[in-house]
Amino acid sequence: MLRWIWTWILPIIVLWMLYQQVIGRDWTWDFTGLKIVPLIMALALLPFNLFLESYKWYVVTRSFSSYSIVEVIQLVLAGRSLNVLAPAGIGDAIVRVGDVKGLERKKALSALFVCRTTQLVPTMFFGAIATSFLSFKGVTFFNARVMPIMIAIVLVIIAVGILIKTTTPQIDRLKSHLEYISRKVIFRLLVVSFLRYAVFSFQFLLIFYALNVSMPVYLLLLGIFWVFMAKSLVPGMLLVGDLMTREVSTLMFFSLFVEDVRWVMMAGLVIWLINIVIPAILGLFFVSKAKRNWL
C-alpha cells in the first residue's frame, strides 16, 4: 500500500501542486517568440544521446555478448519502456540483465553497476559545483554548505571502490565480479559518460534558448547541473515521478533568481518529453523482442 502511494499518489499530488503554482496560475503564455531551430537541435541530439548510452553497454559487455551496437540500442530502448512500470531504473536493469543467460548474468550485473557508477561521476562532480555556487550565495534551505562535502565523499568512495584493492569480504566479492572489466574500459566509460553528460546538458540549454529564457548562460548551466544531480539522488518513481523530480528541483533552483518561473518549468517539461517519453515510446517496438530472451 505504501509503495503504491509512493509510486503513484505522491507524484500526482506534487505535480498537481506544481501545476497550480505554475501552469494553473493566470499567466499570459505567448509562444509566438518560440525559436524552432534550438528546439529541433535538442531533438536531433536525442539519437546521439541514446547512442552514447548504448555504446557504454556495448563496450562493457563485449566479452560475453555478441550483440551489435544496433541490437544494443534496441535493448536500451526496451529498458526505457519498462522504466515506465518500475521505479529507480529497475525496468532497464531487468531488460539488460535478463537478456543475458546463465552464469553470465553476474557479469551483466557488474557491467550495469559500472555503467551507472561512471555516469554518476560527472553528475556528482558538476552537481557539486552548482551546490557550491548556492552555498556562496548564502542558500541554506537544503544545507548547501554540506552538500559539496557529501558529494566529494561519494566521488572518493567511487574512486576507491574502482581503483584500490581492499580486503573487505563484500568488496572482494564485488571486485571478483568486476575482474573482467579492465581499467582501460572503465576509463573509456568515464570519457563517454562525461561526453553524454555534456550532450544532455546542451540539450537542456537549447530548450532554454528555444523558450527565450533570459538568464546568464552560467546560471542556466548551474541550474542544469543542479537538476541532474537532484534527479540522480532522489529515487525515480516511474515516469510521472521522474517528471516530478525534475520540476521540483528546477523550481527550487531557478525560483531563487527569477520571479517568473513558468518558462524554466516549461523547459523541464520539454526536456523530459524528449529524453524520457520519446525513448519510452520507441522502446515499445522492442520490448517483445527482449522478452523472448528472458525466458
Q: Is residue 236 part of a domain?
A: yes
Q: What pTM, to 2 d.p., does this model score? A: 0.78
Q: Is residue 6 part of a domain?
A: no
Q: Quick: pLDDT tens for 29-39.
A: 556 678 899 99
**Sequence-separated contacts (24+) of 13-17 with Cβ below 8 Å:** 14/244, 14/248, 15/240, 15/243, 15/244, 15/247
Determine, yes or no, domain membership for 38: no
For residue 4, is it within any domain?
A: no
- Confidence band of 294 (pLDDT split at 50, 70, 90): low
C-alpha cell belonging to residue 158: 567511487
Asked, for residue 282, whether it belongs to a domain, the answer is yes
**CA nearest 90: which of 80, 105, 75, 100?**
80
pLDDT reading at 136 higher than 60: yes
Domain count, the chain: 1
What is the structure's pLDDT at 21? 46
pLDDT, tens digit, 9 for 90 and up, residues 233-280: 765 555 555 666 677 777 778 878 877 777 888 888 888 889 888 888
40 part of a folded domain: no
Identify the domain containing residue 91 by its residue range.
Answer: 46-294
